[in-house]
Structure 1
Amino acid sequence: MFARRRLSTRILVGSLLILAVTSVIGFVLLGFAQRDEIDSLSEHRAASIADIAASDPQIVAAMSAGDPHGGPDGVVQQVAQRIALASGASFVVVIDRKGVRHSHPFPTLIGQRVTEPIVALDGQTHFRIDPGSTGRSANALVPLKDSTGRRIIGEVSVGIADDQVVKQLISELSIFALYIGAALGVGVLASYVLAWRLKRSTFGLELEEIAGLLQDREAMLHGIREGVLAFDPSGRVSVVNDEARRLLGLGTALGSRLEDLLPDGRLRRSLAGDLGPDEIHVLTDSHCLAVNRMPVVLHGRALGAVVTVRDRTELVGMLRELDSVRGLTDALRAQQHEFANRMHTLAGLLELGEQQEALDYAVELASADRSRAEEVRERIGNSLMVGLLVAKCTVAAERGVEIVLDPASKLGTDPGHLRRLLTVVGNLLDNAVDAAAGSHPAKVRLLLAETEKAIKVRVADSGPGVPEDALAHIFEDGFSTRPDRGTARRGLGLAMVHRLVTRHGGTIDVSSGPGAVFTVVLPLPDNDPAPLGAVFTAAPPVLAFDTFDALEVLDGGGTRW
């Protein structure tokens, strides 16, 4: 029923409920705090009365003498009752060191021992809330000393009845109740004015209508797994959802222009529609994005454009990983064929009884395999790079391509930029083998040279080379001179290598054909060493890069094939 009321009524009722609840809570908390304060004052008042009783000469003299005439009609009882009556105390009880009462509002308890210990024997005043035989009271216990004031002969216990405390509390809280009532009235008036102003600000729309509009908008923007940007006719961002902010690295983009949000590049041009109406694939520092831009026209009038951005990083990574697995499968298949041929040869020699020739053949095969790996190890000290090159050679041989390591190559056991070197060499060798596969002779030459100032990588192939008109675009996202293989998306490998190298202060160059030559120079020292135990692949599925300050690049020479 409350949900169907008007907005102004809801605001008024809600404000009243809040004010009422907070007022009640505040009043209760104030009551507890005031009760504690009054209890504390009553305890100190009881202590003052107890001090008066403990210093009364008649009580001191009688207790020093052992109260020989004690009892209901004794001096101690009469003086204690007189003090209690005059001060308004609930009781004044005088107790000796043995715990025996010498005065009490109930005469039958005089002469009996108290159950609790005599705490005032330490010479200090003690306070407590006593639920004793006369009812709840604020109690103070003070030491009773003899006439010399040196020896403690008992204690005096004085209590202020709880009904006196309650009366004082009610008297004080009634004043606070008036203040709270006045504040509640002001709050009601303020709530009514606020509800009226809010009703005008919402153009008369009720909460359900406002919520419906907001839900439709939020469902459209945040209920989809794509980034969405909308531009008004002037080119300013009018709508942007969270996914778009995440993928494009945007902050508060509303009302801004693209040139104020993104640097000039392929990403900004694709969002602005400068690269055509087709779907554009863009490689950023962390993602591979598919960008679509659709202009919005209503009644022949341009209202801006809507851009959708989809994250294709995982898909591209999986395709590249599939390529790597396929290459590994080809290498294993080639080794299986070669191993089977060798086993057949050995089996034939053994069947013919040519044991010595079979032994010589086996030794020759083992020596050839070792010599190939040792030849690479002589120049390349790092085992990860050796493993990568041996695997690439095996895959290339299956396709009829020979990979030759330049005799000038020299790489240490722990070179700088190891993570980047594995990625760069793997991608460049894959491209070179693809380019050289149709040529004769099909060869790829690799140079890996490490100096004190830089590491140089040079990959040359015997393929047709890069056309002159493609040199300016060879490192752009999505650009490729070869058709799609159906797995990994073309045009991303060289773009990834270019971005990786340049972001770490290096350079990458390519020569035109025939026979493409790619030259990469990475400066030393490496300020981003690879962590121990890191896993490297030639085609990493995650397209992520780190940004570092540019370092000085050594433009050294090298053997060109």
Structure 2
Amino acid sequence: MLRRGRGRKLSVRILTGQLAILAVTSVIGFVLLAQAQRAQLDREYEQRALAIAETTAADPQIRNAMEYGGGGDVVQAIAGRIEAASGASYVVVIDLQGIRHSHPHPELIGRAVEEPLAVLGDRTWVGINHGATGSSANGKAPLHGPTGELVGEVSVGIAEKDVLGQLRRELSAFGLYLGSALAVGATASYLLARRLKRTTFGLELEEIAGLLQDREAMLHGIKEGVLAFDPQGRISVVNDEARRLLGLGTALGSRIGDVLPEGRLRSALDGTLSGVDLTVLTDHHCLAVNRMPVVLRGHELGAVVTVRDRTELVGLLRELDSVRGLTDALRAQQHEFANRMHTMAGLLELGEHEAAFDFAVELGHEAGALAEGVRERIGNPLMVGLIVAKTTVAAERGVRIELDGDSRLGEHPGHLRRLLSIAGNLLDNAVEAAGSPGVVRLSLVERPEAIVLRVADSGPGIPAGAAASIFEDGWSTSPDRGTARRGLGLALVHRLVQRHQGSITVSDGPGAVFTVTLPLPDQDPAPLGTLFTLPPVVLAGSRSEGAP
């Protein structure tokens, strides 16, 4: 039973989850970007401060004043102008004793700095400085006099607030881009959620899980084989009964041509053969196959194939048809027997005792002549019974079965059970094809290397162009009767012959002649274990006719 979903809808869950992921990743990305940009701006402003310091250190008035002295006011004035022109927060000129000669705070001029000089090795220095004016991006350059002698250093700083201001301006633009990306991602998430909703046919997660459980329980619980194919022809679903009936192993994801040999069964499964309740014979089963394409909203989604095991049903129908034929024959024989008894009673009533005795002797001779004629050539009692029973039934239909004089079969021939099934099916087909009146000729010869069985009828023969298909399951020139399914006899005969390395041929022209050759010795004398190998009702009927 379908279970309704609980909680939020699938589309809402997907959208919420996508938005949460986007939001978290966006915040993390923004923080990492801000840190990276802050470090980049620090480096840029440090280099800018260093450039200002080097420019200041190259001023000739400052160089003269610092090497020869007496120019304190000049140094402060020039440093102030550079500070104002460059936007630096301070430009400080320091001598080798660490005494300041310029500073934005005049009271600090003439005082020594706390940290040691960074340019004593005649090197530049950049970094973050925390001085009297606050945190700043700092650059220090060596100061040389006119003679080239190191006389001090120039320290330039750009206030941290300037760096942060630039960072805020850049991050504002980044925030705009990030917001746009977040909006696009949210829209894409919404569209994705709607698409997934349509893909799942509006089902929620709990409903999908419930359907999967119900499907598995149904597929593996029913006594009917079920296969499903995707649009590419690969097997997407196969239940246990289908594996048993078709002999499939691990078939999921495979094409039917990869797991089954070429033949009628594969053609019925892949859709090459079309029709309802296609009858297919395998080595162990008689199957009814139906294939139905799956189309949803105009799109082909593949196909579903159902396979039903009709082995027992067809076997019972064949037995019922045999019993019905024997019943008709017995009814006709009863009528004929009643006529003979009336004749006998009339002769006795007229006092013609000698004529009545001769009539009774003649009847007894006719009753045993058929069986004795068959026994002279056929040593096995089961085959004798089959031939006698088929001959009796055929006679009631106006068809005469003749056993060729060259027929010879021992008491214990090889392939006995297969011979019974093959002969029975071929004789039934020949009797029906011969029509009334008609003749069927049977030849059964046992040789050292093989057993050869030949059945010929006086009917119209095999239709032109049908020789290649008469052994396929379901092929028949006659319509189905109410009980027996047509088109199985020749297919069964062909399968039995091929399975035991024999051969079967059919002649062209008026009157069909089927020739079956089964090699000796028999490599599989055990029963085949199928309902089609032995027609028990016919044999029981033959015993009722007085066969041994």
TM range (shorter): 0.5 to 0.7
Q: TM-score, structure 2 length as denominator?
A: 0.58
Specify the alignment match of 2:484 in structure 1.
488
Aligned-pair CA distance for 1:315: 1.8
2:416 counterpart of 1:429: no
Specify the alignment match of 1:10 in structure 2.
none
Of 385, 388, 407, which aligns to 2:386?
Answer: 388
Specify the alignment match of 2:471 in structure 1.
475
Aligned-pair CA distance for 1:225: 2.6
Specify the alignment match of 2:335 in structure 1.
337
8 Å contact 1:506–1:521 — kept in the other structure? yes
Specify the alignment match of 1:288 in structure 2.
286
2:400 counterpart of 1:402: yes
Describe the shift of the 1:499–1:372 C-alpha distance in structure 2 as closer, same or farther (beyond 3 A).
Answer: same
8 Å contact 1:226–1:244 — kept in the other structure? yes
Q: Which has the larger radius of gyration?
A: 2
Once the two structures are superposed, residues 290-344 of structure 1 have per-residue CA deviations (whole angstroms, 9 ceiling, x without a partner) of 1111222233322211111112222211211111111211221232122212211
Of 232, 250, 253, which aligns to 1:252?
Answer: 250
Say which SS state the counterpart of residue 234 (structure 1) adopts.
Answer: coil
Aligned residue type for 2:239? N
2:261 counterpart of 1:272: no
Specify the alignment match of 1:374 in structure 2.
372
Q: TM-score, structure 1 length as denominator?
A: 0.57
Once the two structures are superposed, residues 57-82 of structure 1 have per-residue CA deviations (whole angstroms, 9 ceiling, x without a partner) of xxxxxxxxxxxxxxxxxxxxxxxxxx
8 Å contact 2:315–2:532 — kept in the other structure? no
Structure 1 unaligned spans of 5+: 1-5, 7-204, 542-561
2:509 counterpart of 1:509: no
Describe the shift of the 1:455–1:461 C-alpha distance in structure 2 as closer, same or farther (beyond 3 A).
Answer: same
CA–CA separation in structure 2 for the residues paired with 1:363 and 1:335: 18
Once the two structures are superposed, residues 137-183 of structure 1 have per-residue CA deviations (whole angstroms, 9 ceiling, x without a partner) of xxxxxxxxxxxxxxxxxxxxxxxxxxxxxxxxxxxxxxxxxxxxxxx
Of 439, 443, 448, which aligns to 1:443?
Answer: 439
CA–CA separation in structure 2 for the residues paired with 1:540 and 1:262: 33
Aligned-pair CA distance for 1:214: 3.6
Specify the alignment match of 1:135 in structure 2.
none
2:449 counterpart of 1:453: yes
CA–CA separation in structure 2 for the residues paired with 1:227 and 1:540: 30
Written as runs of structure 1 = structure 2, the 5 A alignment for 1:158-307 is 212-307=210-305
Specify the alignment match of 1:360 in structure 2.
358
Say which SS state the counterpart of residue 509 (structure 1) adopts.
Answer: strand
Aligned-pair CA distance for 1:402: 0.5
Written as runs of structure 1 = structure 2, the 5 A alignment for 1:301-340 is 301-340=299-338
Once the two structures are superposed, residues 101-141 of structure 1 have per-residue CA deviations (whole angstroms, 9 ceiling, x without a partner) of xxxxxxxxxxxxxxxxxxxxxxxxxxxxxxxxxxxxxxxxx
Aligned-pair CA distance for 1:539: 4.1
Of 408, 411, 417, which aligns to 2:409?
Answer: 411
Aligned residue type for 1:504? H
Of 411, 418, 421, which aligns to 1:420?
Answer: 418
8 Å contact 1:419–1:536 — kept in the other structure? no
CA–CA separation in structure 2 for the residues paired with 1:420 and 1:392: 17
Specify the alignment match of 2:494 in structure 1.
498
Once the two structures are superposed, residues 206-245 of structure 1 have per-residue CA deviations (whole angstroms, 9 ceiling, x without a partner) of 9977862442222331243321111112211111111111
Q: Name the count of aligned residue pairs.
A: 337
Say which SS state the counterpart of residue 470 (structure 1) adopts.
Answer: coil
Identity %: 75
8 Å contact 1:417–1:530 — kept in the other structure? no
Specify the alignment match of 1:24 in structure 2.
none
Of 459, 462, 470, which aligns to 1:463?
Answer: 459
8 Å contact 2:280–2:287 — kept in the other structure? yes
CA–CA separation in structure 1 for the residues paired with 2:216 and 2:392: 54
CA–CA separation in structure 2 for the residues paired with 1:300 and 1:255: 24
Describe the shift of the 1:235–1:208 C-alpha distance in structure 2 as closer, same or farther (beyond 3 A).
Answer: closer
Structure 2 unaligned spans of 5+: 1-6, 8-202, 538-548
Say which SS state the counterpart of residue 347 (structure 2) adopts.
Answer: helix
CA–CA separation in structure 2 for the residues paired with 1:540 and 1:513: 34
8 Å contact 2:256–2:270 — kept in the other structure? yes
Of 517, 521, 526, which aligns to 1:525?
Answer: 521
Once the two structures are superposed, residues 13-52 of structure 1 have per-residue CA deviations (whole angstroms, 9 ceiling, x without a partner) of xxxxxxxxxxxxxxxxxxxxxxxxxxxxxxxxxxxxxxxx
CA–CA separation in structure 1 for the residues paired with 2:533 and 2:276: 32
8 Å contact 2:231–2:301 — kept in the other structure? yes
Say which SS state the counterpart of residue 529 (structure 1) adopts.
Answer: coil
Describe the shift of the 1:400–1:209 C-alpha distance in structure 2 as closer, same or farther (beyond 3 A).
Answer: closer
CA–CA separation in structure 1 for the residues paired with 2:465 and 2:334: 43
